[in-house]
């Protein structure tokens, strides 16, 4: 492949990327939620933690769950603590249980 074709292909890729970035930024702004916001059913995730605050798994949050709320469910075990995050992406679950959040019992 000639250098001219490589540069042309690269420039097309950059143009496509530049065109897509503003839309992606606008989409992310419209889905931002703050701690304590109630989110629709199926749009929040319960992150599970052991008694040491280490992430152990996730599940869909119950209806009406508030993002940013942590709950002590047991004294120990893989489901000792839960933490609710907005959205249905388990990658949003922190690796360690956050310290400064709303706590419910």
Using the structure block, give the residue that is written with the tokens 């950059």: 14
pTM for the full predicted model: 0.58
State how far Cα 64 lies from the chain centre.
17
Nearest residue to 102 via CA among 76, 77, 67: 67
pLDDT of residue 102: 66
- Helix ranges, the chain (H): 3-30
pLDDT of residue 7: 62
- Pairing relationship of beta strands 81-86 and 69-72 according to DSSP bridges: antiparallel
pLDDT of residue 76: 95
Query: At CA 97, angle to CA 47 and CA 36, rounded to 5?
Result: 70
pLDDT per residue, tens digit, the chain (105 aa), is: 677 766 666 666 655 555 555 554 444 444 444 444 444 445 899 999 999 999 999 999 998 889 999 999 999 999 999 999 999 899 999 999 998 666 666
């Amino acid at each position: 492949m000639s250098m001219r074709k490589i540069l042309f292909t690269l420039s097309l890729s950059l143009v496509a990327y530049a065109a897509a970035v503003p839309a992606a930024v606008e989409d992310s702004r419209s889905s931002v939620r703050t701690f304590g916001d109630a989110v629709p059913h199926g749009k929040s995730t319960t992150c599970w933690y052991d008694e040491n605050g280490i992430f152990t798994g996730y599940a869909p949050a119950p209806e009406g769950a508030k993002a940013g709320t942590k709950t002590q469910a047991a004294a120990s075990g893989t489901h000792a603590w839960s933490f609710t995050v907005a959205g249905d992406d388990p990658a949003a679950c922190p690796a360690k249980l956050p310290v400064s959040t709303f706590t419910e019992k």
